């Protein structure tokens, strides 16, 4: 790995980002490969633009806290109504909330995190088998899907597993995390279905409304690995962005870094052991006609690590093509539609063709 380290640490009179990006990508080793090579200065391709001021990692910028919702007792009618109301308020005011007592055993959660660690910390040659930028592959490992579009690369590596719920092909999954992924998926898909019901009720609709719209028909599991960074003040783990999907159910280990933009302030999301973080995506903001908010968030880099997270994204169907737009029951003469209709192929085509920090929501406004 010495050649990898040298290629990114030598002093150059002329900096050619395209050459450095290509060299980094072709190693197929990701950010962890740089760390393993012993870099003490981050490569220029990861340094944030000068007009994007650095901030101290893990500093609490406000005294605000993302809402925490206890799902305990959800089977009782009165308690369910309370939970629905809490979800409604959190989705309108924050676009983010954490949940506890969600029903997924702690051992399943910790097993999934362990699986992410084992995949990323296994022999490089085993990981290279999955390294690709071909979005048609169900299982793909790479660093920064927008590597060639972003202003600066982010300090993270990612394993993405895309599939239709509940179709899973075990043999396609990496052996290092196969069993833990299958077990986690069996639980998180059920919880996702529960949230489709709760969000339907929070919008004043029948519990099965969003499911009948196929809003959770397709899912993906995106597993991020954020190695410890030698210069965290110069880069980000994940750039400012909103999620393009319908809903995100996020599992993290206990290393912080996630920040949510609320009232023009970055609010730290402190991990709750055994909890999950839920956030509204662009797709849900559009179909709710702006009632629920898809808000910007980011991940700051840390000197300690690795930070690991597993995002379960719920989305609609692309095949056969289907038009999505504001739900007709939510629009009226007094509350006209704010967005035009779109297909998921158009939606995700826009998202993956640009940089992560380029919002696509405005392109749908009427």
How far apart (Å, rounded) are the C-alpha atoms in residues 92 and 32?
A: 38
Whole-number pLDDT of residue 12 = 45
Confidence of residue 53 (pLDDT cuts 50, 70, 90): low
Average pLDDT of 235-254? 96
Query: By the 8 A CB rule, do 242 and 357 touch?
Result: no
Of residues 254, 253, 232, 225, the one with CA closest to residue 302:
232
Average pLDDT of 228-245? 96
Q: What is the DSSP letter of 289?
A: T
Whole-number pLDDT of residue 331 = 95
Greater pLDDT, 60 or 249: 249
Of residues 324, 336, 334, the one with CA closest to residue 364:
324
Of residues 96, 94, 91, 98, the one with CA closest to residue 292:
91
- What's the CATH fold of domain 2-364? Jelly Rolls (2.60.120)
Mapped onto helix, strand or coil, the DSSP state of residue 178 is helix
How far apart (Å, rounded) are the C-alpha atoms in residues 211 and 205?
A: 11
DSSP 233-244: GG-EEEEEE---
| Two tokens, residue 20 | 């450095």
How far apart (Å, rounded) are the C-alpha atoms in residues 80 and 141?
A: 39
Residue 179 has pLDDT above 50, yes or no: yes
DSSP 17-61: HHHHHHHHHHH--HHHHHHHTT-SS--GGGSPPTTS----TT---
Residue 13 has pLDDT above 50, yes or no: no
Average pLDDT of 313-338? 91
Q: Which residues pair with residue 225 across a beta bridge? A: 157, 308
How far apart (Å, rounded) are the C-alpha atoms in residues 150 and 238?
A: 11
Query: Among 106-115, 231-240, 296-305, 342-351, whose mean pLDDT is lowest?
Result: 342-351
Residue 54 has pLDDT above 60, yes or no: no
The mean predicted confidence, pLDDT, of the chain is: 91
Query: By the 8 A CB rule, do 41 and 233 touch?
Result: no
How far apart (Å, rounded) are the C-alpha atoms in residues 130 and 136?
A: 13
Confidence of residue 117 (pLDDT cuts 50, 70, 90): very high
328 CB contacts (<8 Å, ≥6 apart)? none
Confidence of residue 51 (pLDDT cuts 50, 70, 90): low
How far apart (Å, rounded) are the C-alpha atoms in residues 211 and 58?
A: 38
60-108 pLDDT, tens digit per residue, is: 456 789 999 999 999 998 999 999 999 999 999 999 999 999 999 999 9
- The answer, yes or no, to whether the previous bond of 84 is cis (omega within 30 of 0) is no
Where do the structural domains in the chain lie, given as residue ranges? 2-364
State how far the alpha carbon of 201 is from the alpha carbons of 6, 73, 88, 211, 336, in Å: 57, 17, 9, 12, 21
Q: Among residues of the chain, what percentage have pLDDT more than 70?
A: 91
160 CB contacts (<8 Å, ≥6 apart)? 139, 140, 141, 145, 220, 221, 222, 223
pTM confidence score: 0.92
């Amino acid at each position: 790995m010495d050649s990898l380290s040298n290629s990114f640490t030598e002093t150059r009179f002329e900096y050619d980002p395209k050459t450095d990006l290509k060299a980094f990508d072709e190693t197929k080793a990701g950010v962890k490969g740089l760390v393993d090579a012993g870099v003490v200065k981050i490569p220029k391709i990861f340094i944030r633009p000068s007009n994007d001021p650095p901030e101290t990692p893990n500093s609490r910028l406000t005294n605000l806290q993302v809402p925490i919702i206890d799902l305990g007792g959800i089977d009782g009618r009165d308690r369910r109504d309370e939970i629905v109301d809490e979800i409604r308020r959190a989705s309108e005011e924050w676009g983010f909330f954490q949940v506890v007592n969600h029903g997924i055993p702690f051992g399943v959660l910790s097993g999934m995190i362990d699986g992410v660690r084992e995949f990323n910390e296994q022999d490089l040659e085993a990981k290279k088998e999955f390294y690709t930028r071909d979005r048609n592959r169900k299982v793909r490992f790479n660093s920064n899907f927008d590597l060639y579009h972003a202003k600066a690369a982010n300090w993270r590596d990612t394993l993405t597993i895309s599939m239709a719920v509940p179709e899973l092909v075990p043999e396609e999954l990496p052996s290092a995390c196969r069993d833990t992924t299958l077990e986690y998926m069996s639980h998180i898909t059920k919880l996702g279905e529960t949230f489709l019901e709760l969000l339907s009720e929070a919008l004043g609709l029948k519990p099965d409304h969003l499911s009948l719209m196929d809003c959770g028909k397709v899912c993906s599991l995106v597993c991020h690995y954020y190695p410890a960074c030698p210069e965290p003040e110069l880069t980000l783990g994940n750039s400012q962005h909103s999620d393009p999907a319908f809903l995100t159910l996020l599992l993290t280990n206990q290393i912080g870094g996630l920040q949510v933009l609320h009232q023009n302030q970055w609010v730290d999301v402190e991990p709750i052991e055994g909890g999950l973080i839920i956030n509204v995506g662009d797709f849900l903001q559009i179909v709710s006609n702006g009632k629920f908010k898809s808000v910007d968030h980011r991940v700051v880099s840390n000197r300690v690590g690795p930070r690991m997270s597993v995002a379960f994204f719920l989305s609609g169907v692309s095949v056969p093509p289907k038009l999505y737009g504001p739900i007709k029951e939510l629009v009226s003469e007094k509350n006209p539609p704010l967005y035009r209709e779109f297909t998921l192929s158009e939606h995700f085509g826009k998202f993956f063709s640009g940089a992560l920090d380029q919002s696509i929501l405005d392109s749908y406004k009427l």
